[in-house]
Amino acid sequence: MADGRRVVVTGLGLITPLGIGVEPFWEGIRAGRSGVKPVTAFDATELPSRIAATVDDFDPDPWISRKEARRMDRATQMAVCASRMALADAGLDAGRFDPFEIGVTIGTGLGAIHTMEEELGSFLESGPRRVSPFAVPMIIPNMPAGQVAIQLGLRGPSRCIATACATGADCIGEAALSIRSGVTPVVVAGGVDAAITKFVMAAFSSCKVLSRRNDEPTRASRPFDRDRDGFVIGEGAGIVVLEDRDRALARGAQIYAEVLGYGATADAFHVTSPDTTGEPMARAMLLALRQAGLPPSALDYLNAHGTSTPLNDKYETRAIKLALGSHAWHLPINSTKSLVGHLIGAAGSVEFITTVLSIRDGYVHPTLNLENPDPECDLDYVPLVGRHQKIGVAMTNSLAFGGHNASLVLAHPDAV
């Protein structure tokens, strides 16, 4: 960042529809594999949209005792598991750190919806006595952050941010600001959501934002394509360890990337539609660049929000042009949601990690299914085939229902 303490990424943890752990996920991304499939966890025949990007092989047992896992919602389990991965990846295993020096900033968009539906069902069917004594501590939205702190023994500030689909990005951005200002030297940060239930899919279908390409699941998420018809809901967790750069260097930690800037704005426009001018999102991008002390021309790559909904892709394209000017036409841009679907509260943090890995390996993954570009989405969205290129500085964007916008600028550790 331009001033204050410098913030670096030293640990990564992922649970995604393409795999559990960083390298299985990245292997799937590089192979251009879709994580979208028909829903099988419940009877979806009544629903207009019957496809999702699920994590079918998730088992918390290696990371959480069975007794503790039973007292956590699926989303909280994912947050704890991904956080353990990230902390271990950073070389900060139990007993190797002062617990008061590590904070937690983890959020969720839809919260413990599995538990909420189960407990409400028990209540309506059998009455108050059938409600679990653990219901409240399982469903309150701060519990992913709270349980990560409890299970990992982290005693720095523990916070929950809920900004819908911008949650993961905002958690990372606010955590970086916390380190930069000297509040805490290390923060475990990111987002999580596990909200693939019949009710949630019915509710999103009523909003008319889910793809109905049920007969072609792997082709359903198609950001910036003329024939896109909505997003595909997914689940997962993306957690990073952010650290004061001087502290990381002193302990010989691996450094994946440096967080240079963070910008956030509100559309103040509509509960679901992004601002049609693109100006608020553009302002968030410019704020992130200003904090990084860089001009738009410094960017080598942009990971877009790219939901595959008719409105988002068009107006995000407009925002990118407003923010970056002529450089927008010379910049490779892609959408990770074309491969893993929309992970809601985890989307921004999983896409941040995707950007980190793109910087690490010099690779821009393809935007899957971009076969017939929308004339109003006329930038270089890396259709169908990925590219190898050196990436020094990159940006990742997140937008959300309610008008939340977030943008993060990060760089290769040797680039600044």
Q: Give the H or E element holding residue 104.
A: strand 102-108
C-alpha separations of 154 from 87, 93, 149 in Å: 11, 11, 5
15: three-class secondary structure by DSSP: strand
* 100 exposure class (CB count in 10 Å sphere: 0-12, 13-18, 19+): exposed
44: three-class secondary structure by DSSP: coil
Q: What is the C-alpha to C-alpha distance for residues 11 and 396, in angstroms, rounded to an integer?
A: 18
- Name residue 102's beta-bridge partners: 186
Catalytic residue among 160, 171, 305, 412, which?
305
Catalytic residue among 81, 160, 165, 377, which?
165
Question: Has 165 been annotated as catalytic?
Answer: yes
Please say whether the dihedral angle defined by the alpha carbons of residues 106, 58, 306 and 11, taken in this order, is positive or negative: positive
316: three-class secondary structure by DSSP: helix
Catalytic residue among 342, 365, 404, 412, which?
342
Question: Has 377 been annotated as catalytic?
Answer: no
CB environment 319-357: b (16+ within 10 A), e (fewer):
bbbbbbeebbeebbbbbbbbbbbbbbbbbbbbbbbbbbb
What DSSP string runs through 191-230?
Answer: EEE----HHHHHHHHHTT-B---TT-GGGT--TTBTT---
Taking the CB of residue 66, how many other CB atoms lie within 10 A of it?
8
The token duo for 134 is 């653990």
Question: Has 207 been annotated as catalytic?
Answer: no
- DSSP-H helix ranges across 105-166: 113-126, 135-139, 143-152
Q: Residue 227: CA atoms inside 13 Å, Cβ hemisphere, count?
A: 9
Please report, in angstroms and rounded to a whole number, the separation of the first and last CA atoms in the chain. 10
Q: What is the C-alpha to C-alpha distance for residues 398 and 365, in angstroms, rounded to an integer?
A: 18
Query: What amino acid positions are annotated as catalytic residues?
Result: 165, 305, 342
